[in-house]
């Protein structure tokens, strides 16, 4: 039986972890033993149960953060293939393993085209047999890394068909959450950390005017503290609901009139955007990562033409977006058209795209 090792940053919930999960699941029907190494947050193994459920051949899930430990483990295991994504210990061990005569086939999954992201892998670029890019930034890989083959595999996976929320379902969701049934509700649902920059959502909502603001999802402590300070000085401070982590985020998505994302940077296309769109919730998102290559402005989604991947969304962009969207949100018939477009786009996005087959094709020569 062949042995494939996945080396990843962490196993807590996130977009990159969803890709890891689906890659492991893609091998479930093959006679392949699977091991998973991760380096951060040893107490947060959120996706481990699903990893094991969706691939019965998962043998080991091991917290192994350092280069020495990674070297020893890989030297003993001698896998047939290593699938690597942002595991610094494994990255540091690979050149030493090669010097000692163990040069295993290696594939690296890349989530972002930013130069600072690609440079992380310069030390192992000559040991990589294939790059997997979650959207097409092949030219950047060629410039900053190597000429090894690139597979473009969008992280779009089969989803249960979701119907757009009805007006009654939206009212019920608001009643359930303690929000007023009437009025405009905007907000963000998902992981809340510094990269997501939730204060940008606040600034946009303030520019809209008298709206209600909703946040739902796990809040990273430092980001939560910064959000506390920002909201304390906000004119919307009495119109904000922060739910924190939820077992079921559906009511939060359903309650929204507009899903707002103001991330500094992203990968291909965040799952949270798909979850909003397929429920018939239009989205406002920055042109970072692959978002601008997929989302069509004015077709159930609206784009913030963000000029970089490091700073917050500039105030003029937020003000211009608020000025554009406020009249549309005020007209129920106009906004209903955007809801219908959002649902149609969100559900079509994941149909007829077989990312699992594309991953199996990418690794086939080693298995």
Contact 101, 120 (CB under 8 A): no
Which pLDDT belongs to residue 308?
85
Sheet strands side by side (includes 258-260):
240-242, 212-216, 185-189, 258-260, 283-286, 301-304
**Strand-pair category, 106-110 with 185-189:** unpaired
Taken as a whole, the chain contains a residue count of: 367
Q: In this predicted model, what pLDDT tens digit does every residue of 72-88 receive, in sequence order?
A: 999 999 999 999 999 99
- The secondary structure element, H or E, covering residue 157 is none
In the chain, what are the domains? 2-157+352-366 (3.40.50.2000), 167-349 (3.40.50.2000)
Residue 69's SS3 state is: helix
Residue 106's SS3 state is: strand
Percent residues over pLDDT 70 in the chain: 100
* Strands of 275-352, DSSP E: 283-286, 301-304
Under-70 pLDDT residues of the chain: none
Which pLDDT belongs to residue 89?
98
Which pLDDT belongs to residue 162?
83
Q: In angstroms, rounded to a whole number, what is the distance separating the alpha carbons of residues 113 and 4?
A: 26
Give burial (CB, 10 Å; 0-12/13-18/19+) of 260. Answer: buried
Nearest one of 231, 235, 242 to 178, comparing CA atoms: 242
Which pLDDT belongs to residue 15?
85
Nearest one of 150, 106, 154 to 128, comparing CA atoms: 106
Query: How open is the CA angle 107-111-117, to the nearest 5 degrees?
Result: 95
| DSSP annotation string for 308-356 | -SSSPPPHHHHHHHHHHHHHHHH-HHHHHHHHHHHHHHHHHHTTT--HH
Residue with tokens 């005020």: 330
Which pLDDT belongs to residue 359?
98
Which pLDDT belongs to residue 356?
96
83-101 in b/e form (b: 16+ CB < 10 A) is bbbbbbbbbbbbeebeeee
């Amino acid at each position: 039986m062949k042995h494939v090792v996945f080396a990843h940053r962490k196993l807590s919930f996130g977009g990159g972890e969803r890709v890891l999960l689906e890659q492991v699941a893609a091998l479930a029907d093959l006679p392949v033993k699977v091991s998973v190494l991760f380096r951060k947050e040893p107490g947060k193994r959120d996706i481990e149960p699903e990893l094991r459920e969706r691939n019965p051949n998962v043998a080991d899930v091991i917290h192994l953060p350092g280069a020495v430990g990674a070297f020893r483990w890989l030297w003993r295991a001698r896998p047939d293939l290593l699938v690597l994504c942002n595991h610094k210990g494994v990255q540091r061990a690979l050149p030493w393993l090669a010097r000692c005569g163990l040069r295993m086939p290696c594939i690296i999954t890349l989530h972002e085209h930013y130069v600072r992201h690609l440079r992380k892998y310069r030390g192992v670029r000559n040991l990589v047999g294939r790059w997997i890019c979650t959207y097409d930034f092949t030219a950047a890989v060629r410039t900053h890394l190597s000429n090894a083959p690139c597979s473009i595999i969008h992280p779009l996976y089969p989803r249960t068909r979701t119907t757009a929320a009805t007006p009654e379902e939206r009212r019920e969701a608001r009643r359930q959450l303690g929000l007023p049934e009437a009025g405009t509700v905007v907000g963000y649902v998902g992981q809340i950390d510094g990269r997501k920059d939730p204060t940008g959502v606040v600034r946009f909502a303030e520019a809209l005017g008298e709206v209600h603001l909703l946040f739902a999802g796990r809040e990273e402590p430092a980001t939560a503290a910064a959000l506390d300070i920002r909201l304390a000085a906000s004119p919307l401070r009495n119109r904000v609901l922060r739910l924190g982590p939820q077992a079921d985020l559906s009511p939060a998505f359903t309650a929204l009139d507009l899903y707002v994302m103001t991330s500094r940077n992203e990968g291909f296309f965040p799952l949270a955007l798909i979850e909003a769109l397929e429920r018939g919730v239009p989205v406002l998102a920055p042109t970072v990562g692959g978002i601008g290559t997929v989302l069509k402005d004015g077709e159930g989604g609206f784009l913030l033409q963000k000029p970089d991947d490091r700073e917050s969304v500039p105030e003029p962009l937020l003000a211009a977006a608020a000025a554009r969207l406020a009249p549309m949100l005020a007209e129920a018939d106009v906004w209903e058209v955007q809801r219908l477009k959002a649902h149609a786009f969100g559900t079509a996005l994941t149909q007829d795209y077989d990312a699992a087959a594309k991953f199996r094709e990418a690794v086939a020569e080693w298995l």
